[in-house]
Structure 1
Amino acid sequence: MIARQRIATVIASTPVARVLGTPRTYATLREIETRLKSIKNIEKITNTMMIVASTRMSKAERAMQNSRVYEGAASILAKKAEAAVSADPSKTLLVVMTSDKGLCGSIHSQVARRARQYLSENSNVDLVVIGDKSKAQLQRTNAAEIKLSFSGVGKEAPTYGEAALIADEIEKLGDYDNIKLLYNKFVTGVSFEPTILDVYTAKELQAAPKVGQFEIEDENVPKDFSEFTLASQILYGLSEGHAAEISARRNAMDNASKNANDMINKYSILYNRTRQAVITNELVDIITGASSLE
């Protein structure tokens, strides 16, 4: 018993034990192990999310291609009639389209930034916000301009029924001289661009120079066609944004998984080195204590 107490006293008084701080080294080793486990769990999550986004990408691309058919059909009459956007609108409606989901890079932030830029350059502009992400960002700076908002967007690929319901609610806000849609245009699998799309109103269609060639007898036709165009182009914008979002999330999760793997390798090396240092310190303490008793 006396010998053990003497050994403990000698080890505690050695310079190596005081400088290295053995209890602190053990705590650091446990911290590294905990951090390493946490990073491995995160890597599993990000890798799973990347796989899910990859499987959803083909469905999003099909929905985007179908929506382009709607958008093309809605634009035929306006193009042939040579409809033009009002040069000096007294009241404009900007429909900002994102989704409710995050973890997809800066795709939502760029749309909100483009919307704020448009508001700063133009006056008498009201906002309709589709998606909680853009609403949360625009509400901080332009809450007074937001007249209507929609949530529950982005869980699945958009459908024409959803777009028509949104268009019906927008029509209830009243007449606007200009209606513009702001969405993320899908360029490539790694590129997207915030784009503003003009939606021709009934007034702009009626004022088109070549609208008379269609021999429209019913005065409600321009309004009905304007409503159809709004719904079709909302579907188009939502589908383009949905495909861009899925692609951006896949890329973001892929990058996150690669970064997590790099950190796992780094912390694994650090853990092994720290563990080896702890073992070496213990051996030094034992040898030093044993030598002092001789």
Structure 2
Amino acid sequence: MTDATPPTARERFAGGTAVVTGGAAGIGEGFVRHLAGIGMNVVIADLDLDGGRRLAGELAAGQGRVVATQVDVADPEALEGLAEQTFAQFGSVELLVNNAGLETAGLLWEIPVARWRQLMSVNVDGIFHAVRAFLPRMIELGRPAVVANMSSVGGVSSAPLQTPYMVSKHAVLALTECLHQEVALTGAPIQVSAILPYSVKSRIFLSAQAAAPTADPTANRLFDAMQAANVADGMDPLEAAAHMTAALAAGDFWVFSDDTAGKAALDARAEVLAGQSPPRDPHAMLAEIEAMALPAGGSR
């Protein structure tokens, strides 16, 4: 006897409603485009209202409705209002993608307190606020649905000069694993999944440098190299979203943009924990990242 073939994303989600935080750009935009393309109604929840409206306008001819709303995920009342409005307008939410997130560069002891709090309020608190706003309504409705939280391969690893981001993504993964267990206790037909993307094309490193510049030359060199590597080899956001949505539709808890890289990150973390190994040599890590950013031929 063989296992049943899992449903495709279109089979599972078409006709339903998705909410994507941080949906106006990057991975979030990829999700919005793909979910609209498979016939979902999509709510773009982003601080960048103009960007969200442009995207919604571009997708207006699709099968589902795409609407944009300005939301600060760090504001619990804003998320509560978004949930109330979304359920009133569409009647249900079949997929909540908690994607909004920030990066930042620099030595931990030089990170401004305000930037630390801002990053945590978006990357971690934003998911907490969204879960508090949407999940009780999803449970009460009693329909199959998915809550997908954006961690990262960084959520199972460590790296210098981006500590706040790494801390937040470890926290998101812990939150999601615990939430998965808590929802199971309710018996509700709600799937909880953790998304751990690898390199997906975006402006996250440029945005970090613009919003919270650092004077540390090594941190700036690292983020320049990471941005260059992202541009050169990062996955297209639409392609990544299609792959990750298929995994969500199949019921996976661990969802990767790149299965090979994602599983390798899990294996590497398992080896570190099993062997009680110290963190990797940061000089070697920086050299590897800078090498990834080099064009063919080996020099800039």
Say yes or no: TM over 0.5: no
TM value normalised by structure 1: 0.32
TM value normalised by structure 2: 0.31
Which of these two proteins has the greater Rg computed from alpha carbons? 1
Greater helix content? 1
